[in-house]
Amino acid sequence: MQTKRLTRWTIGAVLATGALLLAACGGSGEDKAGGAEKEKPRVLTMANAIHGEPPAQLSSWAEEVGRLSGGTLAIEFKNGWRMGEARYEAATLRDVRAGKADLAWVGARAFDTVGLTSFQALVAPLLIDSYELEAKVFEQGIPEQMLEGVEELDLVGIGVLPGPMRKLLGVSKAFVRPGDFAGEVVGLQDSAVADETLRALGGTPRPVPSSAKLDGLDAYEQQLSSIEGNGYDRGAKYVTANVNLWPRPLVLVMRTQAFERLTDEQQSALRDAAAAAISSALAASRAEDAEAAPVLCRRGLKFAVASASDLAELRSAVEPVYADLEADPETKSAIDEISDLKAELAASAEAPTCAGSDSGRGSHPWVQAAAKRTPIDGVYEVTTTEQELLAADAEEALVENYGAFRWVLDRGRFEMKQKNGASDRWATGTYSVRGDAVEFTVEDTGGVAPNDAHERPGEVFTFRWSLYRDQLTLAAVEDAISPEPFRAKPWRRVK
């Protein structure tokens, strides 16, 4: 009889399902006379530009909406919204206003492309360069004050959530000083501040779609998790570790008419959920960096470091950008307040290294276990349900063992991520392929596991495998440990 084992693995993102319904059943949520029957939730659609899954920062917010509304509201993500369009965020704002979706999240960077400048201080170049400072900015309520300006667009501001730091990805060289930008094409997600900043540094900015290819680009302003998830390290060689251009806060907006149809309690639930999710969104941003950095190091991406004189040159080069920003009294006031907080905190800029000491995964550097590719190398994803896990003969269904999984298999090393509600976990190790058998050895684990369902370093899992048209199927091996969560459903290779 095969040994049964309930396992748990990491999170790299939020739910990979297209919808996150936070109540027991779907429906319109209309009042029912007498209240004898439990009210069905009102399902609100949310435009999500990310293909496959919304950003991790939205996970806690969506869950809080269901809880704080007493189950009367549910969020349904419409993934891949405006996918492939260079100016997708401005178009998404128009879509919400036109009623094509009830809600949307848009980077704070994008609002100045539609005439709203209230968020510009939040993305001023080289200003907010640490998560400690970003946390303090949110603690002081600065983004909430900026949110009021959304009314000018005939939209309702729901909240602002912290986001990851954006860095410079260099295709063939590191970008550490202004001279490195001269004549170079730098990709960016559309933003007037970002455009002016890159021009001030000597580059030629080019707005590109989310998940765009690097074709025609010399550099790209991006966050580590996107560099890792999109495999940009296959075509680029450098990230400037200690140059954080700006964070990418997420602004949640709603169509005015849809907001007004909600009860006062439901309106408060949406906004209170955003406030409650700030700390977890910040933690998710930190975790994204911590998870992506060692993977990128293992793949050979180099983390360049700008010297003190390089940083001084960069700051000097963007002074004209600040002159323009501070011509607006409200923006100047916000920049001054953030600058004062920065001086008070004196926090170092976020600067990942390949030494492994700050990776969140132990103090040892990564060592590549095998130099040759294996037949199953790739990036795989699967989303399983409680019912599917039990159908695979699992004895019980813990939240750590179903939900959204992501698996990176790369020349003998693996990284697993898992997310399901409060479960937010990861595992790493080595694997070897012999014929149709694959054996995984766990080296390190971490993250949040509500039931303490963590695998242990040194555990070995063995499966039979088959791969057909990018679908990886795992099967149990007699007298070996072949955990049910990984054979409950075939995995889809996405890269």
The three-state (H, E, C) secondary structure of 172-218, written as one string:
CCCCCCHHHHCCCEEEECCCHHHHHHHHHCCCEEEECCCCCCCCCCC
pLDDT tens for residues 387-442? 998 988 888 888 889 999 998 998 889 989 999 988 888 888 899 998 889 999 98
pLDDT of residue 64: 95
CA distance 478 to 464: 10
Which carries the bigger pLDDT value, residue 118 or residue 8? 118
Alpha helices by DSSP H, listed for 201-263, are 224-229, 256-260
CATH 3.40.190.170 residue window(s) in the chain: 33-163+249-285, 165-246+290-328
One-letter amino acid of 130: S
CA distance 363 to 355: 8
CA distance 420 to 237: 34
Determine whether domain 33-163+249-285 maps to CATH 3.40.50.920: no
CA distance 225 to 164: 9
Residue 5's pLDDT band, with cuts at 50, 70 and 90, is: very low
pLDDT tens for residues 365-392? 333 333 478 889 899 999 999 899 898 8
CATH level 3 topology of 165-246+290-328: D-Maltodextrin-Binding Protein; domain 2 (3.40.190)
pLDDT of residue 423: 86
| CB-based contact 43:76 (threshold 8 Å) | yes
Q: Domain 378-493: which CATH class? A: mainly beta
Structural tokens at position 106: 């848009």
Alpha helices by DSSP H, listed for 56-141, are 57-68, 88-97, 131-139
The phi-psi region of residue 410 (left if phi > 0; otherwise alpha if psi is between -120 and 50; otherwise beta) is beta
Percent of the chain surpassing pLDDT 70? 89
pLDDT tens for residues 57-94? 998 899 999 999 999 999 999 999 999 999 999 999 99
CATH 2.40.128 residue window(s) in the chain: 378-493
Span 222-242, average pLDDT: 95
Q: Which residues contact 403 (CB under 8 A, 6 or more apart)?
A: 15, 383, 384, 418, 419, 420, 421, 423
Structural tokens at position 421: 């509600």
Structural tokens at position 249: 């806060």
Quote the strand ranges of 249-301, DSSP E: 250-255
Q: Which residues contact 384 (CB under 8 A, 6 or more apart)?
A: 402, 403, 405, 485, 488, 489
pLDDT tens for residues 283-295? 999 999 999 999 9
Q: Provide, for the chain, the percentages of residues in helix, strand and coil under a 3-state DSSP scheme, each rounded to the nearest 5.
A: 35, 25, 40
**Weakest-pLDDT range from 193-202, 284-293, 441-450, 465-474:** 441-450
pTM of the model: 0.68
| CB-based contact 166:108 (threshold 8 Å) | no
pLDDT of residue 355: 66
Structural tokens at position 164: 């990851």
Summary mean pLDDT of the chain: 87
H and E: helices and strands count for the chain: 13, 20
